[in-house]
Chain A
């Protein structure tokens, strides 16, 4: 049982409380080590050929970290670009744009995860 006042309290003008803000911070904290790991790995593989890059991608640690990176990255991207859209788009297109953004980020994250897994478990 919740009174209407209790329901409204702490939700602010966005009507969703701090959920968006917190998710942006949590994904940001996750992305600090994940992106630094990715950048360092890519630099380390600057001179690598295709075979050694695939060997690196196939190791369970790399596969796992890459999937975590893709999920955190596209979650963070969806949250960040949503704010950009909400700040500059004021017509009815806004709603559609945010939905398209969400679906696009889901699709890209899925494509990245599938590619990573097919390298890991492929021939």
Chain B
């Protein structure tokens, strides 16, 4: 009887994989972690919007009016609302990160407390910003 080399036996068995994103139950910690990255990417697109807006303002009232019209349209308002929420979530999440950099707040209890504080603050600030803006636009 020929003995099977140990190496082929190991290779024939699939290697164990760490829990991956498809089977891992979402938690506040992991959701906020990926949310910080997604909002960062969204805000990068928002930064391009800022440059377009400034360039339109520099180009004159005609160009500015066109850009303002796009922002005032329904899709523009939805995008702006999304950008507002992304901004506040990234801001609050970023402040949480800066606090973590002081090597504090890593206990399970405080990590969940700061996490929910980030969510609540972002929602409240987004609503407050839009109410203030709509009130002043009148």
Residues of A within 8 A of B (CB): 25, 28-29, 31-32, 35-36, 39, 42-44, 46-47, 50, 53-54, 57, 66, 70, 73-74, 77, 80-81, 84, 108, 111-112, 114-116, 118-119, 122
* B98-A81 in contact (CB<8A): no
Not counting A32-B95, A54-B57, a sample of 5 additional A-B residue pairs whose C-beta atoms are within 8 angstroms of each other reads A28-B97, A35-B91, A42-B133, A50-B64, A115-B51
Partner of B87, one of A35, A44, A54, A115: A35
* A80-B44 in contact (CB<8A): yes
The answer to the question of B137 belonging to the interface, with a C-beta cut-off of 8 Å to chain A, is yes
Question: Which positions 27-84 of chain B face chain A at CB distance < 8 Å?
Answer: 37, 40-41, 43-44, 47-48, 50-51, 54-55, 57-58, 61, 64-65
**In whole angstroms, what is the CA distance A39 to B132 when docked?**
11
**Which residues from B are CB-within-8-Å of A118?**
58
Q: How many residues of B contact A (CB 8 A)?
A: 30
Partner of B51, one of A29, A39, A53, A112: A112
* A84-B98 in contact (CB<8A): no
Partner of B136, one of A44, A53, A70: A44
**In whole angstroms, what is the CA distance A81 to B43 when docked?**
11
**In whole angstroms, what is the CA distance A99 to B25 when docked?**
36
**Which residues from A are CB-within-8-Å of B101?**
25
Give the tally of cross-chain contacts (CB within 8 A): 77
**In whole angstroms, what is the CA distance A35 to B84 when docked?**
11
Question: Binding site of B, secondary structure by majority: helix, strand, loop or mixed?
Answer: helix
The answer to the question of B138 belonging to the interface, with a C-beta cut-off of 8 Å to chain A, is yes
Query: In the complex where A39-B87, A50-B65 touch, is A112 in contact with B50 (Cβ < 8 A)?
Result: yes
The smallest beta-carbon distance between B3 and chain A, in angstroms, is 38
Q: Can you list 10 contacts pairing A with B, beta carbon distance less than 8 Å?
A: A28-B97, A43-B136, A47-B136, A50-B61, A77-B47, A111-B55, A112-B50, A112-B51, A115-B51, A119-B54
The answer to the question of B108 belonging to the interface, with a C-beta cut-off of 8 Å to chain A, is no
* B134-A46 in contact (CB<8A): yes
**Which residues from B are CB-within-8-Å of A50?**
57, 61, 64-65
Partner of B57, one of A25, A43, A57, A70: A57
